[in-house]
Amino acid sequence: MQLLLQHIEALIFASEQPITGDEVLSCLKTVYGWELKKEQFQSLISELKEKYSSEDHSFELIEIAEGFQFLTKKEYHHVVNTLLQIKAKKRLSTAALETLSIIAYKQPISKSEIEHIRGVNCDYSIQKLLEKELIIISGKGDGPGKPLLYSTSKNFMDHFGLRSVKDLPQLKELHIADNEIGNPSDLLDPIDVPVDLEPGAIIEEVDENGEFVVEGSVDPQAAMGSLEQDLIDDEEQSESKEE
């Protein structure tokens, strides 16, 4: 019975997520052929809970999410929280994130292709992504030297909550129009300018229905003549002041 208890303890300890009773029983039956009734299993679980409730242990056995998991006791919350904050600071650099994004959308892809897109060396970024198990070596390319090909890993999918690469956000295609200098299309108001206005028409405002309200019009030739006359008058005034 003691050996059985230790095996259950080992399974719970080794599981990263809460392990259910059915999973524990299935493992024991597959390896040793042990068949336990649920009443027997619950009795063993109660024994483990009592064992780790002692002050001699900094963690305890908790029933959570329909399973069982070892968790640190609340008395050690502050020191554990400090450790988690330190680990949280060890995040991916901008270069590593850029490299990971390229691999995610272009996989499988070689290092030289990644560097061609980024324009810089990617050895360090790729090494870090491999260490964090966010990418894997998925094969070799057909190019010269048979370069290694990189793809995202299952850990990448789990980390970002994706079922497959098909769930990645779709990249939007950018269409850049030939704009005049100082008149970018992305800054223009998306209102269609009416083409049936008279030359020189003055648009004062736009009504509630989005229609242009034309208050009057100006003769282009007359306006140009008036402007020329103003320039002549200014020039004559400047000459008279100099005299």
Q: How many Å apart are CA 63 and CA 12, to the nearest integer?
A: 11
Other Cβ atoms within 10 Å of 134 Cβ, number: 21
Q: How many Å apart are CA 88 and CA 80, to the nearest integer?
A: 12
The region that residue 145 occupies, defined by phi over 0 for left and psi between -120 and 50 for alpha, beta otherwise, is left
What are the E-state strand segments in the chain?
A: 59-64, 67-72, 109-110, 135-140, 148-152, 201-206, 212-217
* Predicted TM-score (pTM) of this structure: 0.42
pLDDT range class, residue 173, cuts 50, 70, 90 = very low
Summarize pLDDT for 176-211 with one digit per residue, the tens.
Answer: 444 444 444 444 444 444 444 444 444 444 455 544
Domains along the sequence of the chain with CATH: 2-76 (1.10.10.10), 94-167 (1.10.10.10), 191-243 (no CATH)
Contact 61, 48 (CB under 8 A): yes
